[in-house]
Structure 1
Amino acid sequence: MSDHPGAHWLTHIPDHATAYLEGRRLDEVECIVADLSGIARGKAMPAAKFAKQAKFYLPNSIFQQTITGDWAEDGDAAFLEPDMVLTPDFATTSAAPWTADWTVQVIHDMHDQAGVPVPTAPRNVLKRVVDLYTARGWKPVVAPEMEFYLVARNTDPSKPVEPPMGRSGRRAAGRQAYSMSAVDEYGPVIDDIYDFAEAMGLEIDGILQEGGSGQVEMNLRHGDPVKLADEIFYFKRLIREAALRHDCYATFMAKPIQDEPGSAMHIHHSVVDVATGENLFVSGDGTETPEFLHFIGGMQKHLPSVIAILAPYVNSYRRYVRDFAAPINLEWGRDNRTTGLRVPVSEPAAKRIENRIAGMDCNPYLGLAASLACGYLGLVNKIDPAPQFTGDAYNSADGIPSHLSEALDLFETAQEIHEVLHPDFARVYGAVKRLEYGAFLQVISPWEREHLLLNV
């Protein structure tokens, strides 16, 4: 909202935040935004000061910072770090139940000093894509799945990551997908995740054990893309805090443990016709529409250009391994988990397309924006997909880049994608990722020392 309601701002917050504070004195407000990596950045301030402050400022350079803390130059633009204006989106007010005092978090909107949305801010990138759908009379709906690992504390980066110690006194075992006893091994962490989520007004559709040692999948119910991205942003923070309470880490790395499956952020997509309220992917008699196929066609054509967003780090590409439950192609099929694009079994009204390409290490705002952008271009340009794949798609030709440098090459020349996401965002994102990749190339790995030091 543009005007700050001053001392009465607490009347504008969601019911779950009001319930959390009932009978208590609010101590602190965390004013946060997500940077390109999805890290929460911002300022914390006493609640009394927040009530008196209509907005605050952060330099726009926070979107030029790499995961290692370096700063990327923005092309020919001078590095002047002008301030952005941040205003609270009170609908995002949520408890921070892991803190020692009574604290709430508020996600903020980001504009420049002329009131224009900052194009490099991930939340604004997603809003821009959603607005393109809205202008066509469409309402995009997403349902994300989150995969992550609970791992033993790892304070020495030179040592491999290990599964956590379970309540049985043994380390979590792999190859136990859907096992309830495996989930029970780290039940106290799961209990805190549920408790934190309830305090924060976040709804979990289900939690299950995935195939890796200590790997968990959490499903969220379908809804508005911006709201769901806000929730994933919050969930990643609360899950990390829940793990720390029990002497372990939660990691959203795409591939944290050698020889174990990677962690994905599968995205289920459907589109509603605003005029009729009906799913755009099915007709009145329940048959699939041309729009359903065009959405798939857009994803097949444009997903290679946004892999640099869906798989944003060098580690991300370690997840794309044949027969490790990760897609390595852009085929589509019905109820076929070997394809990168899967059409799940559902009632006609729930017809949807599951993008299985994105890793859990991607920024949720950017991951959803990139996936939606591909489908949007398919709808607008009426792109036909390849024929449905009915066999084992692991045997089909690889359809996605195999490393970050190749993915960046495709992203940096994808003009149609740039126009959807915003050219300024595309330029800055490419510069940040190139700098990160250059930093990685300076690191000599244990594999190189073991096999090359004395043998070549």
Structure 2
Amino acid sequence: MSRWTDKLPEAAKEYIGNRRVDEVECVIGDIAGVARGKAMPAAKFAKQTNYFLPNSIFLQTITGEWADSPFDAFTEPDMILEPDWSTATAAPWTADITLQVIHDAKDQEGNYVPFAPRNVLRRIIGLYAERGLTPVVAPEMEFFLTARNLDPNQPVIPPMGRTGRRAAGKQAYSLSAIDEYGRVIDDIYDFAEAQGLEIDGILQEGGAGQIELNLAHGDPLRLADEVFFFKRLIREAALRHDCFATFMAKPIADEPGSAMHIHTSIVDSKTGKNIFAGPKGVETEAFNHYIAGMQNHMGAAIALIAPYVNSYRRYVPDFAAPINLEWGRDNRTTGLRVPISAPAARRIENRLPGMDCNPYLGIAATLACGLLGLIEKKPARPEFSGSAYIDSDEIPVSLGEALDLLDEDEALKEIMGVDFIRCYDSVKRNEYKEFLQVISPWEREHLLLNV
């Protein structure tokens, strides 16, 4: 085994065994969370310590277009991409022995590129570390399995199950429902095991063909990497069985949307104790301030956790999605939920992010709002009792409005990184402009001959 393979995590070494690695995919996530990079023969990878990509990849929109540069004299300089060996993992769906390695983006002076999403999250974690704090997160991934959709003009429909019937909705937590596409689930488990990724649980959600996959709590950067890997893994497992996996926030009309709920607790780095729990388990001021930070800044952060025009179709009353910034204990109608737990495991669940968000940015935005609360030390609003499925003017109703709110929140822009926000804003406004040029079937049906 060559020297570079000695740096691999144990799961990757076990996957390789005594076989020869054929190919290595050098991967970096762009603004959308799309995997970009280069694939190369393993023999070539073994001889390189880094490779180069233009930093303009962070100005590419989801449609493949290029946003206007927010920087003067933009010349598309090369970034230096260095492998993070701790992320090396198998690509078990390939025909040969292939590894994936996430790379860090640095400029030519060796500084982290500020508008790379993984670096944005690393920056936020560093700001916690400066205060002697360690954030701990646990994401929940919701997604739909669907029939193959080859014509974008046709609606998305549920997949065919093993009984020969289409997957049915309104079957939350049904084991029979999830068994309908058990072969896809089996491959998800097998791929995850080969990649050394831990699944905390899989269950049927409320939508037709909708699944929730939970990840165990841990380091935010590692968990964001895992969500990044899981998205690709799940898509590949679905394709093996003639269906699609989609992480759109609202792929099917009249079905619930897909969220990426993010559970967060904060630990004192020296003592290892949860700062949300005081003597005898009482809720601390830090707990209250953290919630206040979420209430005061999450409205502006919606642009980061609901990044597409489709994202706002999920924020609909009585469709299992929060449309508010209220908080409550064990209350799933509030945007900020405090689950039942022992004091040492006390955490705050952010139920607002959509599964379509970039996992690095969804986690970074959540942590950034909470950190601003710890800094500002403002009180949270009183706990909300009862159903919070009510109209709220705190949640923007469109991507354009969300971007305007983000632009107005100077504190959030500063903590996320001003250069990153400028880059992100340019990409998203370009996407929004493209969307507004599309005429929908609804417009043709109701306006063509009636107005």
What TM-score do the two structures reach when normalised by structure 1?
Answer: 0.98
Where does residue 284 of structure 2 map in the other structure? 289
Deviations 1:155-201 (A, max 9, x none): 10000000000000000000000000000000000000000000000
> What's the secondary structure of 1:426's corresponding residue?
helix
Where does residue 419 of structure 2 map in the other structure? 424
1:404 aligns with 2:399: yes
After TM superposition, give the deviation of residue 300 of structure 1 in Å. Answer: 0.1
After TM superposition, give the deviation of residue 440 of structure 1 in Å. Answer: 0.2
CA distance in 2, matches of 1:281, 1:413: 29
> What's the secondary structure of 1:393's corresponding residue?
coil
> What's the secondary structure of 1:285's corresponding residue?
helix
Is the 1:267–1:355 contact (alpha carbons within 8 Å) kept by the matching residues of 2? yes
CA distance in 2, matches of 1:13, 1:73: 39
Question: Structure 2 residue aligned with 1:142, among 108, 116, 137?
Answer: 137
Aligned residues: 451
Q: AA paired with 1:409? A: D
Is the 1:143–1:220 contact (alpha carbons within 8 Å) kept by the matching residues of 2? yes
Deviations 1:219-248 (A, max 9, x none): 000000000000000000000000000000
Q: AA paired with 1:59? A: P
Which stretches in structure 2 are left out of the alignment for 5+ residues? Answer: none
Where does residue 222 of structure 1 map in the other structure? 217
Where does residue 52 of structure 2 map in the other structure? 57
Provide the aligned C-alpha RMSD in A. Answer: 0.9
After TM superposition, give the deviation of residue 149 of structure 1 in Å. Answer: 0.1
> What's the secondary structure of 1:333's corresponding residue?
strand
CA distance in 2, matches of 1:7, 1:51: 8
CA distance in 1, matches of 2:279, 2:271: 11
CA distance in 1, matches of 2:77, 2:240: 39
1:199 aligns with 2:172: no
Question: Structure 2 residue aligned with 1:356, among 324, 339, 351?
Answer: 351
CA distance in 1, matches of 2:357, 2:331: 24
Where does residue 97 of structure 2 map in the other structure? 102
Question: Structure 1 residue aligned with 2:253, among 258, 272, 287?
Answer: 258
1:444 aligns with 2:444: no
Is the 1:73–1:79 contact (alpha carbons within 8 Å) kept by the matching residues of 2? no
After TM superposition, give the deviation of residue 37 of structure 1 in Å. Answer: 0.3
CA distance in 2, matches of 1:75, 1:363: 21
Deviations 1:51-101 (A, max 9, x none): 001110000000000001111122242331100000100010000000010
Is the 1:328–1:398 contact (alpha carbons within 8 Å) kept by the matching residues of 2? no
Deviations 1:88-135 (A, max 9, x none): 000100000000100000000110001110001000000000000000
Where does residue 330 of structure 1 map in the other structure? 325
Where does residue 272 of structure 2 map in the other structure? 277
Alignment of 1:297-376 (within 5 A): 297-376=292-371
Where does residue 70 of structure 2 map in the other structure? 75
After TM superposition, give the deviation of residue 399 of structure 1 in Å. Answer: 2.3
CA distance in 2, matches of 1:75, 1:126: 21
Which stretches in structure 1 are left out of the alignment for 5+ residues? Answer: 1-5
Alignment of 1:374-413 (within 5 A): 374-395=369-390, 397-413=392-408
Where does residue 3 of structure 1 map in the other structure? none
1:114 aligns with 2:109: yes
CA distance in 1, matches of 2:401, 2:392: 17
After TM superposition, give the deviation of residue 17 of structure 1 in Å. Answer: 0.3
CA distance in 2, matches of 1:74, 1:128: 22
Is the 2:303–2:406 contact (alpha carbons within 8 Å) kept by the matching residues of 1? yes
Q: AA paired with 2:81? A: L
Is the 2:144–2:210 contact (alpha carbons within 8 Å) kept by the matching residues of 1? yes
> What's the secondary structure of 2:46's corresponding residue?
helix
Where does residue 39 of structure 1 map in the other structure? 34
Identify if the C-alpha distance between structure 1 residues 210 and 434 changes in structure 2 by more than 3 Å, giving closer, same or farther: same
Q: AA paired with 1:83? A: D
Is the 2:323–2:390 contact (alpha carbons within 8 Å) kept by the matching residues of 1? no
Which range is displaced more, 306-315 or 394-403?
Answer: 394-403
Deviations 1:376-413 (A, max 9, x none): 00011112111100111113534210110000001112
1:19 aligns with 2:28: no
Which range is displaced more, 308-317 or 406-415?
Answer: 406-415
CA distance in 1, matches of 2:16, 2:140: 30
Is the 1:152–1:165 contact (alpha carbons within 8 Å) kept by the matching residues of 2? yes
Structure 1 residue ranges, 4+ long, deviating more than 4 angstroms after superposition = none
Deviations 1:398-429 (A, max 9, x none): 42101100000011122111111111000010
1:245 aligns with 2:240: yes
Deviations 1:341-380 (A, max 9, x none): 0000011111000000000000000110001000000011
CA distance in 2, matches of 1:112, 1:202: 30
Identity rate of aligned residues, in percent? 68
> What's the secondary structure of 1:268's corresponding residue?
strand
